[in-house]
Amino acid sequence: MFDLSNRTAIVTGAGRGIGRAIAAALVAHGARVALFDRDPTLLTDATETLGAITLSIVVDVADATNVQAAIETVIEQWGRIDILVNNAAILSTKPFLELTPSEWEQTLAVNLNALYYTCRAVVPTMIATGYGRLITIASVAGKRGGGILGNAAYSAAKAGTIGLTKALARELAPYGITANAICPGPVETPLLASMTAEQRTRAQRLIPLGRFAHPTEVAAAVVFLASAEAAFITGETLDVDGGITMD
Ligand SMILES: NC(=O)c1ccc[n+]([C@@H]2O[C@H](COP(=O)([O-])OP(=O)(O)OC[C@H]3O[C@@H](n4cnc5c(N)ncnc54)[C@H](O)[C@@H]3O)[C@@H](O)[C@H]2O)c1
């Protein structure tokens, strides 16, 4: 089960955290993986760890031209893209009235517009091959309106990714392409570095399983949704949140 050999994948924000764990899990299941990240140092480190079946490209996912060029490079090298994992994001935590329009726009650009840019560039090749897995790393914030760490901008962007993923699922189903979102609760990554001990304790009280996730627990859900075995699942949002949501 979950054999991804002969599959090619792109993971955005693969330099560290959940993205790196996703890339490692896809490689472990046999896929060739292209790592996208805006930070060249993180990317070099991730590439050295993951080994020769990876391709790494410095790309700012909020830049449509940059994304198009990076995806064309992957298609030139590997001929097809079977799996696209939109994972890169930035956290925004300021209260609503302190948020400036440029911070709002930057959060929406990286966390939502990038999903449009990457899918726009990848979907034609998936249609041509008749196979595709679009996987969006959203957040419980997109369902709950924040309440743990992300603010209004982060929550709005993540809710937007869930809506866009469902629209893609509906429109692309006739081509053998599925689109699903994963909604993690708090996961132990550098993204949570700004959390105070009090915020961590408060967040843990909201989680029935009583702890934060490990990045590999999100990666396992990605491997499942990327696999042939998940062919009949589309437009789904899968909560990997220790029971926070239960909707
Ligand atoms: N950590 C959590 O608690 C948590 C909870 C829910 C959802 N998520 C989501 O999971 C995903 C990964 O989060 P993480 O905790 O691993 O974050 P992280 O900050 O540890 O890693 C994010 C990676 O994305 C890259 N990145 C950021 N902006 C980019 C851009 N414009 N272009 C290209 N790369 C960019 C960063 O360089 C970094 O390598 C995000 O979508 C995040 O919103 C995380």
Pocket-testing residue among 108, 187, 199, 218, ligand 1, by greatest number of atoms within 8 A of Cβ? 187
Q: How many CA atoms lie within 13 A of 13 on its CB side?
A: 23
Q: How many domains does the chain have?
A: 1
Range of the domain at 219: 8-240
Asked if residue 232 belongs to a domain, the reply is yes
pLDDT tens profile 126-178:
999 999 999 999 999 999 999 888 999 999 999 999 999 999 999 999 999 99
Pocket-testing residue among 16, 18, 90, ligand 1, by greatest number of atoms within 8 A of Cβ? 18
pLDDT tens profile 75-129:
999 999 999 999 999 999 999 999 999 999 999 999 999 999 999 999 999 999 9
| Kind of pairing between the strands at 54-58 and 8-12 | unpaired
Asked if residue 99 belongs to a domain, the reply is yes
pLDDT tens profile 27-77:
999 999 999 999 999 999 999 999 888 899 999 999 999 999 999 999 999
Asked if residue 79 belongs to a domain, the reply is yes
Q: Which residues have CB under 6 Å of ligand 1?
A: 12-13, 15-19, 37-39, 42, 59-62, 87-90, 110, 137, 139, 184, 186-187, 189-192
Asked if residue 246 belongs to a domain, the reply is no
Asked if residue 2 belongs to a domain, the reply is no
End-to-end Cα spacing for the chain = 28
Asked if residue 182 belongs to a domain, the reply is yes
Residue 10 contacts residue 122 (beta carbons within 8 Å): yes
Asked if residue 14 belongs to a domain, the reply is yes
CATH number of the domain where residue 154 is located: 3.40.50.720
